[in-house]
Amino acid sequence: MKLSLTSAVAALIVATGVTAAQAEGDAAAGEKVFKKCAACHVVDSDDKKVGPSLHNVIGRTAGTTEGFKYSKSMIEAGEGGLVWSEETIGEYLKDPKGYVKGNKMSFAGLKKDEDVANVIAYLKQFSPAE
């Protein structure tokens, strides 16, 4: 099947639009996925549980929540310049142990890109604009 230039451009625009929408994520769906995280983390306050608060996490240097005892590797990651952005959180959520080797988080990670995007959209509601 041969596409005309117009059809090819239209297909590219449609495909790009879908990808951009998926990258944005759905905060309501992210709230549901976050239930996997809620046993160890809070997002709406600075309270700590087994894990640090994720309130205002976007833009925060890794390993710096006051009063939380981080692993040496997470502190070193922050000292080395790791700042939690949508991109770095996304990569971390996919493979926490691989992204910061030696960290204390026991969660295996989120396997679906859609779940990652949705959790990030949810977290953004509780963080200042970048």
Please tell me the predicted confidence (pLDDT) of residue 120. Answer: 97
Overall size of the chain counted in residues: 130
Query: pLDDT, tens digit, for every residue of 102-112?
Result: 999 999 999 99
Determine the average pLDDT of the residues in 37-63.
Answer: 95
SS3 track for 79-122: HCCCECCHHHHHHHHHCHHHHCCCCCCCCCCCCCHHHHHHHHHH
Please tell me the predicted confidence (pLDDT) of residue 22. Answer: 44
Which domains does the chain possess? 5-124 (1.10.760.10)
| Residue 61 near residue 83 (C-beta atoms within 8 A) | yes
Q: Is 83 helix (H, G, I), strand (E, B) or coil?
A: strand
